[in-house]
Amino acid sequence: MTPAAFRQERVGASVWAPEVVTTDPYNAQTASAALAEPVTPVGAFFVRDHFGVPQTEPHRWRLRLGGAVRAPLDIGYDELLAMRPRELDVVLECAGNGRSLMTPRPPGLPWGERAVGCARFAGVPFRDVATRVRIAPDALEFVFAGADSGQAHGRRVAFERSLPLAVALHPDTLLATHMNGEPLVPEHGAPVRLVVPGRYAVTDVKWLVGARAVTAPFAGVFQAAEYVYVESRGTPDGPVTTMRVKSLITAPEPGATVPGGTETVVRGRAWSGTGVPVRQVEVRTDDSADRAWHDATLDPPAGPYAWTGWSYTWPPRRPGRHRLLARATDEHGDTQPPRAPWNAQGYGCNPVASVGVVVV
């Protein structure tokens, strides 16, 4: 499927096209309307690509497991499909999502707040394959390699990221073959990608072709130079890992006209990392008498890694321009901050959600 055809995939009776950020390589934000859906349609889902989309036919795909193991293994697509599958609803968020909100704005793709989506991934737990290779006792990490490669920091490199052994072998870390009930499409990592719930999507290596155990911390370009917190204010420096608690306002949309004298339902999505549920979403409007935060109603999430829908009924009190704010708090007590925590590469942006509307 070509990128043009991919972007024109029909969802129901309408076409929801992602917002293109760059064309070569192709990067795009999730279609605004799609964020209101519990499961984001594939054709509307954000795309992050560094070096171009490699084309690999499923029957030619192989995953090679090696490194610090006693029985290296090479497994094919059909062999993977024959294993017991696992299916999970998982939020994927680019680590740079929201970068354009930071002041001063760091370099990198100028993402708004829509480099995020929630999809239903199906595949085989990586540990079900890794247990066959007899991992060495002194192994610390698994390094996962994609089929994509290109120039970065003055040399040609493959896209590689590592995971601590405990995370790589968690039963919910998947070798994903399907997304929303259909085989993966090229833009989303076909034939097989890694899906690591709770971590920023840079961890979810697409077009996966290799996994090797290592006995020392991996220091590749995308582990130690890119996708790291640098010159952070309030965040320890180091590789980006767990997603921060965050919320989005999906309705009303920015700049929407809202009728006065009637109640308006404010809706959105909220999520956090490592399977920690969102326990509270609060909403505040600038036309309330006390400017206080008010609890929104939460919908039950589809699973530990899915996002949570929420709603709040707002009775506008006066006409004019108004701002709606929302903040989420997870079970660990982490809450969205008033301002985006700044760092030199613009990662982990999770300020209080904000939408301006006009009451008439």
- pLDDT at residue 164, rounded to an integer: 98
Q: By percentage, how much of the chain surpasses pLDDT 70?
A: 95
Q: Is 351 helix (H, G, I), strand (E, B) or coil?
A: coil
Mean pLDDT of 125-133: 97
- pLDDT at residue 289, rounded to an integer: 65
Mean pLDDT of 98-113: 93
Would you place residue 256 in the very low, low, confident or very high pLDDT band (cuts 50, 70, 90)? very high
Mean pLDDT of 249-260: 94
Q: Is 103 helix (H, G, I), strand (E, B) or coil?
A: coil
Q: Which two tokens stand for residue 359?
A: 């009451």
Would you place residue 236 in the very low, low, confident or very high pLDDT band (cuts 50, 70, 90)? confident
Mean pLDDT of 328-357: 94
Give the burial string for 30-52 (b: 16+ CB within 10 Å, else e). Answer: bbbebbebebbbbbbbbbbbbbe
Q: Is 99 helix (H, G, I), strand (E, B) or coil?
A: helix
Q: Tally the C-alpha atoms within 13 A of residue 272's C-alpha that lie toward its C-beta.
A: 20
Q: How far are the Cα atoms of 6, 22, 26, 86, 334 from residue 110, in angstroms, in the given order?
A: 22, 10, 13, 34, 26
pLDDT in tens, 276-291: 899 999 999 987 667 7
Burial class (CB in 10 A: 0-12, 13-18, 19+), 19: middle
- pLDDT at residue 14, rounded to an integer: 47
Would you place residue 341 in the very low, low, confident or very high pLDDT band (cuts 50, 70, 90)? confident
- pLDDT at residue 286, rounded to an integer: 84
CB distance 69 to 131 below 8 Å: no
CB distance 45 to 34 below 8 Å: yes
Determine which of 2-6, 88-92, 174-178 has the lowest per-residue pLDDT on average: 2-6
Mean pLDDT of 288-306: 90
- CA 3 to chain centroid, in Å, comes to 20
Q: Is 73 helix (H, G, I), strand (E, B) or coil?
A: strand
Handedness of CA 305, 206, 26, 232 (dihedral sign): positive
> Which of 16, 25, 192, 42 lies closest to 117 in space, CA to CA?
42
Mean pLDDT (the chain) is 92
Whether cis (ω within 30° of 0) applies to the bond prior to 25 is: yes
For the cut 90, the answer to whether the pLDDT of residue 53 exceeds it is: yes
For the cut 90, the answer to whether the pLDDT of residue 274 exceeds it is: no
For the cut 80, the answer to whether the pLDDT of residue 152 exceeds it is: yes
Q: Which helix (H) or strand (E) holds 115?
A: none
